[in-house]
Amino acid sequence: MGTTGPVHLWVSALMDKIAMDTKIEIKKTEKENGALDFGEWKTMEDHEGRWLQKVLVQLHSEEELKALHKAVHGKRLAFSGSDTMLQVDTPYLDLDRLGLGQGMAL
């Protein structure tokens, strides 16, 4: 996913837009380390601090996962000078059982 500007700025703006569009209450975590609390997100980075083009989100429920998946999975998004496709996945829930099919990390 290419873009213009520092990653921390446009990813925050993108996540704010997704939260507003889906009406799911999510905000960037202020913690440097440790598990996310419900309703928090953070970028996933390698051991050198480079963004892996993935965002980890701790949702409150399966219903929020369904809403997020329905709203953004597989959809093209033009944002901050880039055109990208968003994908949603979870290793903890069977997306087929939820009627969502397979995906990948957002």
Q: Is the pTM of this model over 0.85?
A: no
Give me the domain span that covers residue 37. Answer: 7-85
Q: Does some domain include residue 32? A: yes
Q: Does some domain include residue 12? A: yes
3-state class of 51 per DSSP?
Answer: strand
Tens digit of pLDDT for each residue in 79-93? 666 666 777 766 555
Q: Does some domain include residue 98? A: no
Tens digit of pLDDT for each residue in 28-39? 999 988 888 999
Whether the CB-CB separation of 4 and 14 falls below 8 Å is answered with no
Best CA proximity match to 57, nearest among 3, 1, 11: 11
Q: Does some domain include residue 1? A: no
Alpha helix segments (H runs only) across 1-106: 7-22, 62-72
Residue labelled with tokens 């993935």: 54
Q: Does some domain include residue 34? A: yes
